[in-house]
Amino acid sequence: MYPPFRLSSRHPTASGREIRPTAATEEIRIPPRWNSLGHERGEPFAVGRDLYYMGTLFMSFLVLRPAFSLTLSDLIFAASVIAVIVEAVITGHRLNSYFPPLLVAGVVIFAAGAVLSSALSLYVEDSFLVLGRFVYLVVVWLWLGSVVLRTQRHLLNAVALWMVSCAICGAAAIGQLTQPDLIPGTLPIIGRMTGLTGHPNDLGGLTATAAVPALMMTTLRGSPRGLRMLAYISVALILAGLFLSGSVSGFVAALSAVAMWLILVRVPVRQLMAALGFTGLIATIIAIKFQLSPIQRLPITTADALDPGSTFFGRLTSDQLAWQRILDNPFVGVGLDANSQAVVAGTYIHNMLLAVWVEAGLLGMVGIVVIISQILIVGIKLMRSVVDPQVRFAFVSLVAASVGFLVLGLADPILYQRYAWMAPALLFAACAQRRMPEGERPSSSQRNPVWAESSAILR
């Protein structure tokens, strides 16, 4: 059955004559025309949504910076924002979004501390540019997802493209094993692959945050065989990228997210064993081919404090220096740019929360804690709002990925990286869908995901 097409109270015909709907004409079912991305032509914000999909696909391509030191995905997402605003102005489509008061409060508090600290920093312009990027990510970009991802299918499309993007980055890391200069602009660092990111820690963080959503895509009931196979291959490549990055913090974050997901949901045993089989195969291949996996790096990173390869003790030292700077002036930071942090604090701080306190002062620290609290509150509410196990698979995977982002942030400064905010962005988009006014919700056929047999997902 096709979705209904409802006539308004005054609907012009082809000849220009207006008619009023009667009982016979009030609901007319017409065949939809589907494009390649799985949504109906004529849906609101279709151009902006397609650009959002494209930006998600190129999210892991951090070495591609066509202009102004911005990544390709940055430019595409900016084009998506412009397309959405232009369409809203021309057509009058409502910009459905979800901005809980606690999130707004957190951003305002953080911005207040950041502005005060940036004005007194050594590199004022650079610090304000970082602040602009943060506000763009947490306000504009999260808003964009809640506007364009209007249906269940849109949300799952975004998750799938995120998964594929990280898988491509993992495949690039595998290519670096045999040809280190395969990717222009980046090289392996001390035996650790970078993929398309430019740094092993970014490869580890990117793959760690996407691991659980990718695993979730392998467990969806009723998905086509080809999509299921794509999910399994993507999981394999993502885990390969995680191992090849040699990132211990990324490995710990991924384990934390996977453990949380498995505890909170009941994954079918057959699908879980299949995913674990892929994991075992990847671990075996890497053990034979690769010499510096996260497991092998663990004793190196926790070695003697005098060993230059002991990053664990190096980061503890940077945390101690951060605390010393905080005690000296807890209220005003040194500025958000890395140069001010290194000059004034004496080191680059890897702990996300301590780094924010040093950079933006006490207000910045409080603002970030408020924002993180809102993300967790949104995730918990979503998980508690549904009973269907398939829906929980999807929501819990995004919450687990968000927790992985927080765990990773304790050892890596990823606060201003887009990939770190992908899971929270999808959580807020899911909330916006559920809060959409009844009259603006798409028809039931549009709410179904790309496969019809799994119609309960994310409803």
pLDDT tens-digit series, residues 52-68: 999 999 999 999 999 88
pLDDT digits (tens, 9 = 90+) for 158-181: 999 999 999 999 999 988 888 888
Q: What tokens were used for 285?
A: 């291949």
pLDDT of residue 30: 30
pLDDT of residue 225: 82
pLDDT of residue 274: 66
pLDDT of residue 279: 61
- Between 147 and 305, name the one with better pLDDT: 147
Question: What mean pLDDT value characterizes the chain?
Answer: 80
Helix axis angle for 152-178 and 46-57, nearest 10°, is: 30
Q: Is the pLDDT of residue 312 over 90?
A: no
Which region among 310-314, 348-352, 398-402 has the lowest average model confidence (pLDDT)?
Answer: 310-314
N-to-C CA span, the chain: 19
According to the 3-state scheme, what is the secondary structure of 191-258? CECCCCCCCHHHHHHHHHHHHHHHHHHHCCCCCCHHHHHHHHHHHHHHHHHHHHHCCHHHHHHHHHHH
Rg, Å, the chain Cα set: 23
Q: Is the pLDDT of residue 270 over 70?
A: no
136-154 CB burial, b ≥16 within 10 A, e <16: bbbeebbbbbbbbbbbbbb
The pair phi, psi for residue 442, each rounded to 5°, is: -65, 160
The tally of CA atoms less than 13 A away on the side-chain side of residue 36 is 3
Residues 6+ apart with CB under 8 A from 357: 322, 326, 330, 333, 364, 365
- Under 8 Å between Cβ of 222 and 413: no
What mean pLDDT do residues 92-100 have? 85
C-alpha closest to that of 241 among 352, 164, 311, 315: 164
What mean pLDDT do residues 274-281 have? 65
pLDDT of residue 38: 45
- Reported as a pLDDT band with limits 50, 70 and 90, residue 297 is low
Which region among 118-127, 307-316, 384-393 has the lowest average model confidence (pLDDT)?
Answer: 307-316
Specify the DSSP element, H or E, that contains 28: strand 27-29
The pair phi, psi for residue 123, each rounded to 5°, is: -125, 80
Specify the DSSP element, H or E, that contains 27: strand 27-29
